Amino acid sequence: MFVETCIAPVNIALIKYWGKRDEDLILPINDSLSVTLSTDEMCAKTTIAASASFKCHLMWLNGEEVPFEENPRTMRCLKEIQRLAVAKGQLKFPIDWKLHIASRNNFPTAAGLASSAAGYACLVYTLAGLYGVENEELTAIARQGSGSACRSLHGGFVRWHSGKLKDGSDSIALPVEPAEHWPELHILILVVNDARKKTSSTKGMQRAVETSDLIAHRARFCVPERIAALVEAIRKRDFQKLAEITMRDSNQFHAIALDTYPPCVYMNDVSHAIAEFVHAYNNAAGEAKLAYTFDAGPNACLYLLKSDVSAAIAAIQTSFPNDMGHSVEYVKGIPVGCETKEKNGFNGNATLPIHDKNLLKYIIHTRIGKGPQRLDKDESLLDLTQGSPIET
């Protein structure tokens, strides 16, 4: 039995990917730019085993068996990795050996928190390790599983180039700056609803391309300007500019979702209350201290600097009170020091909106992080004698 175990990170886009020019190859209509989050708090973990004794491909996700050979995207990723392995001519085992795959996310799946991006990035990265394939072509393969998965194969700030070629060979993700470039950048994820979303990203994008009048304008005029400005802001570590561009692009993305016919609604009332809170917070501070972005779901991802985390958490706790507010199960991830000196962080000079209790399920505090990593055998999700998933 040959076994490989890896982890891969979540990435959250500052400039959104929304809409495809090719559904099968998953080629986007515009570039996108993301931040890779630390695997210490959020990641997908995958173990893949190959053995002559396995009768068929089997896959388990979060402990439940899921289709593998019937899934065209997973099979496409496998076939592409196998093609490269055969071309390289250094196979450790016969190409027709079957695989057992176990994968786990330590965060909600299909809730708008980029679970498919982390999952497919981890699948492709682990397959590459198992078959001895080098990394240079992996983003184009991961893209064919889940578009934004290509961005999770790099750490730090990552740009997915939409490309122009019909075969998609130039639609790849490349690093803009590593995590070490801006280590002060932290992230707060406000989990509003961790249930599976009603309209998948795949269906939402397809419907938007077919029916939205705004989407083509965004792809042609808005995104190129924003990408250029955002890359400059990142390189200068200009948080004010990053915050404005990020929030404007998030707003426009959700405007396109509403311009879709019938409309796709991913944000809910709590999501809009969070956006209102962020603007009130920034107005009271006299500058942008927080930047929100919402993917295809109601949960908020807030970017901020490390020095502002404790004050921001205190303000969130004030504006969105929660009975679990002081529990370690409520504010997860990197420990946060309590802000007690200043009410809401503004010396009591500002009043933030106060909402009903328990609108947030929990908060994850994380930071910018690195790309996928290989793990030791003792981290395996599969029993190394039977090839069956280990119960956790």
Collect all residues with Cβ–Cβ distance below 8 Å to 275 and sequence separation of at least 6. Answer: 247, 251, 267, 292, 294, 300
- pLDDT score recorded for residue 372: 97
- pLDDT score recorded for residue 342: 46
- pLDDT score recorded for residue 211: 97
Collect all residues with Cβ–Cβ distance below 8 Å to 83 and sequence separation of at least 6. Answer: none
Collect all residues with Cβ–Cβ distance below 8 Å to 141 and sequence separation of at least 6. Answer: 77, 80, 81, 124
Residues 5 and 46 sit within 8 Å (Cβ to Cβ): yes
- pLDDT score recorded for residue 350: 64
- pLDDT score recorded for residue 29: 97
In the chain the domains, ranked by start, together with CATH numbers, are 2-179+374-379 (3.30.230.10), 185-367 (3.30.70.890)
Q: How far apart are CA 206 and CA 200, in angstroms?
A: 10
% of the chain at pLDDT higher than 70: 94
Q: Which of the residues in the chain have pLDDT under 50?
A: 110-111, 340-345, 347
- pLDDT score recorded for residue 194: 66
- pLDDT score recorded for residue 272: 97
Report which residue type is found at 196: R
Q: Report the half-sphere exposure of 68 (CA within 13 A, side-chain side).
A: 20
Name which of 377, 392, 391 is nearest 48 in CA terms: 377
pTM attached to this predicted model: 0.93
- pLDDT score recorded for residue 147: 95
Q: How many residues does the chain have?
A: 392
- pLDDT score recorded for residue 113: 65
